[in-house]
Structure 1
Amino acid sequence: MLRPFCRSLSRHGRLFYSNSSARQEVSHAAKETQEDEDNLQDLNRRKRKTEWKRRQGGQSFLDNLVINVRGGNGGDGCVAFHREKWKPMGPPSGGSGGRGGDVYILPTPGLTNLSSIPKRIRGAAGGNGQGTWQNGKSAQPTIIKVPLGTVLRELLPGDSRRAKDEWEAEEESLEGLNPEERRAKLREDRWLHYPRYADDNVNRDVFKQAEAALWREERARRWARKQRTLAPINLDLDKTEEVMISDDAPLGIGQQEWLGHIVARGGNGGLGNPHFLSPINRSPKFATRGHEGERITLYLELKILADIGLVGMPNAGKSTLLRALTGGRTKTEVAGYAFTTLNPIVGVIRVGEDGTFEGELQGEHIFEETAVEEERLRQRELSERENPEERLRLEDNSPDSPGPDIEQRPGHDFDVHETFRFTVADNPGLISGASENVGLGHSFLRSMERSLALVYVVDLSRPEPWDELRDLKDELEKYLPGLSDKAHMVLANKADLLGGDGDQEAVEEAREKLRRLEEYVKTEMVVKTADGERILDVIPTSAKLSQNLKKVVGLMQKYVEQARIAGV
């Protein structure tokens, strides 16, 4: 006979159950609710960590930038006369001004971001000339360091982002002035006079001759500047260079450092009054001011240089894959929500002579570190709750805040003799419409242009991974026709999630899904090359468990070797 189930209220207004099975069901439901809350807290914690990293230091990833560059102004010349005992009327002794500093662009291998580059850059000014024939000191060059893979382009007149050059800026400053005021302003910007001699100088013939010579020189500089505009700066900074000293060079010349590509020249220094000394002008009382440095507007676009580029939808496992391939040396963000990776991250794959790679030897440490990171993050969240001041300090993102970042564990040595090395870029996930700048859009599609080969990463645990593959190829082609021809392989990641419990039916379903994916690649993803057609390799993997990665690394090495031999 079944025991009746009844529920009633106690004296204190609480429910109690007379059936033990009902109590077990309630306990089980409470556990599930607690697990859901824990999962939600874990998800929110990971998101907060990622948001903190985006705000860290007030800088976010930046791969395109417009900068206004000005060369340094030249120093002014000096109007002075030599005076010493027994020589009350000495000769003119004003020194000339120093040259303004040039501005160089230097590609630097250690940088991966444009966020450290200021939007306005001005070269150092040259020193002014002084009496007793002391010339001003020329300014040191200004060097702008940019990452390798940066494309540099000068913006031409007509572009709304372009700032005025030095001549256009001067014309703007003269607007609204009458002819007399305009002439006075032009002279003030170009000449220096001995005290109380300005009016006398402008009426003398020697000054008028010097002024005419100055205008002729200025017209020549204007013409040279205009000719430069006809051949604008367009540089592809994909490598560094070294200054080679000839064997025939004079002794005493040491190794010179390459400063980079000059983009804005500094102005010449002004002339001191001894330069205007002549038989008919024995006491010149005027000198010239330094020339203004060149003004130029540049557009910088960073395109990450990597041998292999990983292409996939958000949360397809690209970051986990890069960690597994590099043995945990590459600190990529791993989480269960979309857009965990906010900027391209490049890792180095080191391969031994027997095909063994670093990640294969160090794979057991990777997810141990991940567990340590999660535990430290959880402990930090608890401390924030207990200490309100600490929580407010972190929310304000103060400079002394250590943040929820994780200490870097020392890397493990790669004991196998290294014979080959290549780089792999973990690119942020693409979504449908990325070619139209949806999601992370163009800012990260351009990071794939420089890769020697592309590798698609799809989530095999999803119902129809071939649809992901089709969307990825379409977005690459819409962004840059022919870009998808760089694809060589399809990685069916997360294969461990299908049939992992030994369920034979699930295993057969996974095999069928993999077969359909291979069939789709053979029919719809064929790449046409100069030698014929290329069929993409389809490799099932589990980046989380480091399964089948040795084969993946071997194929990647083959792609890179072929591309390097072909000179791509």
Structure 2
Amino acid sequence: MKFVDEASIRVTAGNGGHGCVSFRREKYIPKGGPDGGDGGDGGDVWLEGDSGLNTLADFRHARHFKAKNGQPGAGRQRTGKSADDVVVRVPLGSIVRAAETDELIGEVLEHGQRLLVARGGHGGRGNIHFKSSTNRTPRQSSPGTPGEERDLHLELKVLADVGLLGFPNAGKSTLISAVSAARPKVADYPFTTMHPNLGVVSLEPGRSFVIADIPGLIEGAAEGAGLGIQFLKHLQRTGLLLHLVEIAPVDGSEPADQVRALERELARFDAELAERERWLVLTKIDQLDDELAAEVSTEIIDALDWQAPWYAVSSVAHKGLDRLTGDVMNYLEERGREEAESGAVASED
């Protein structure tokens, strides 16, 4: 299925049913009085998170979701039947905005989480509610209120703990396939990754994290060159970025220059994303002997004056991957503990 991360839909809630004007008419009860029932409520439209979905492709064809109207009231104080709600399943990480105003309506981040996007109308009141000491035979009722109708813009940002960042052919797809069960396309030409891929890295029972691979960036991506800039938003939810760069690029370019170029593209796209925790991963070290790989790695780190953690790995030969994934898991667990503690303190305050 084609990966689609944006969609436009229209949602229409049901109208409320009209209240009823009716009078009790039974033998031996000539003046039974009003007994018109209320109308039923119109159906709501909800969005519900589904962990089994990972794209908005279904909305290319189904664009209008409409709930039914509530039934009108009836005599003998019978209330009309309320309409069923319409539930639209969306992938986790969906952001919902009003199409006309771009107002944020909400986000769907958990499986089973529901977001109300169109409220159904309320049923009208029957004439029994208009009875009074001075109006014993009311012939008025109230109509049901209309349901909400709106155009929505859906945007998907994948939910991952770790994001892979790098130029085309930096080894991102090979890395994610080596450390998880994900099987993205891998080839020796640029732009083999055309859409984000997610993989679960499981170290042991109860210790795992989700890693995301996006299409490779190129210099000038912030101005629209290449593919990856349109997918950078998927990294905005990640807690850690792994910046991959070939230790010996086949085109003869300097790895340090590639790192700096990508940092500039990040800053142009989102300054906050550029400041996020980012570790450097030198890939394809199997192409050099161990001594030369260590020497080149040191030169790259010195040229960048790199202060954050860095790693030298080979996804093909499975070198350095255990240390990398172990350190990532430890970092995420420590970060989770710190967030939990800060949340507890905020609650006490």
What whole-Å deviation, never above 9, does each CA across 1:128-167 have from its counterpart, x for those lacking one? 22333321111223333333333334456xx4xx7xxxxx
Equivalent residue runs for 1:277-292 within 5 Å = 277-292=131-146
TM-score if structure 1 supplies the norm length?
A: 0.53
Whole-Å separation in 2 of the counterparts to 1:441 and 1:349: 23
Q: Which residue of 2 aligns with 1:235?
A: 106
Q: Which residue of 1 aligns with 2:297?
A: 514
The answer to whether the 8 A contact 1:315-1:429 is kept is: yes
* Aligned equivalent of 1:452, options 213, 227, 239: 239
Whole-Å separation in 1 of the counterparts to 2:28 and 2:230: 73
* Aligned equivalent of 2:7, options 48, 65, 68: 65
Whichever residue aligns with residue 235 of structure 1, its letter is: G
**Secondary structure of the equivalent of 1:469?**
helix
Whole-Å separation in 2 of the counterparts to 1:274 and 1:132: 10
Equivalent residue runs for 1:99-248 within 5 Å = 99-117=41-59, 118-154=62-98, 159=101, 234-239=105-110
Equivalent residue runs for 1:11-410 within 5 Å = 56=1, 60-84=2-26, 91-117=33-59, 118-154=62-98, 159=101, 234-239=105-110, 260-326=114-180, 329-352=181-204
Q: Which structure shows the bigger proportion of residues in helix conformation?
A: 1
Distance change in 2, residues 1:347/1:96 (3 Å): same
Whichever residue aligns with residue 320 of structure 2, its letter is: N
Q: Which residue of 2 aligns with 1:552?
A: 324
What whole-Å deviation, never above 9, does each CA across 1:171-221 have from its counterpart, x for those lacking one? xxxxxxxxxxxxxxxxxxxxxxxxxxxxxxxxxxxxxxxxxxxxxxxxxxx
C-alpha RMSD over aligned residues = 3.0
Aligned length: 335
TM-score if structure 2 supplies the norm length?
A: 0.83
**Secondary structure of the equivalent of 1:544?**
coil
Whichever residue aligns with residue 75 of structure 1, its letter is: G
Q: Which residue of 2 aligns with 1:427?
A: 214
Whole-Å separation in 1 of the counterparts to 2:15 and 2:74: 17
Distance change in 2, residues 1:259/1:348 (3 Å): closer
Deviation at 1:477, TM superposition (A): 1.2
The answer to whether the 8 A contact 1:143-1:259 is kept is: no
Q: After the TM superposition, which of the residue ranges 317-326 and 277-286 deviates more from structure 2?
A: 277-286
Deviation at 1:283, TM superposition (A): 4.2
The answer to whether the 8 A contact 2:97-2:104 is kept is: yes
Whole-Å separation in 2 of the counterparts to 1:457 and 1:341: 15
Q: Which structure shows the bigger proportion of residues in strand conformation?
A: 2
Whole-Å separation in 2 of the counterparts to 1:259 and 1:321: 32
Deviation at 1:102, TM superposition (A): 2.3
Q: Which runs of 5+ in 1 are unaligned?
A: 1-55, 163-231, 241-257, 353-417, 500-506, 527-534
The answer to whether the 8 A contact 1:319-1:332 is kept is: yes
What whole-Å deviation, never above 9, does each CA across 1:231-267 have from its counterpart, x for those lacking one? x654344446xxxxxxxxxxxxxxxxx7623333211
Q: Which runs of 5+ in 2 are unaligned?
A: 341-349
**Secondary structure of the equivalent of 2:199?**
strand
Deviation at 1:285, TM superposition (A): 4.2
Whole-Å separation in 1 of the counterparts to 2:206 and 2:64: 45
The answer to whether the 8 A contact 2:162-2:239 is kept is: yes
The answer to whether the 8 A contact 1:308-1:560 is kept is: no
What whole-Å deviation, never above 9, does each CA across 1:88-135 have from its counterpart, x for those lacking one? 876444322101122333334333223335543333321222333321
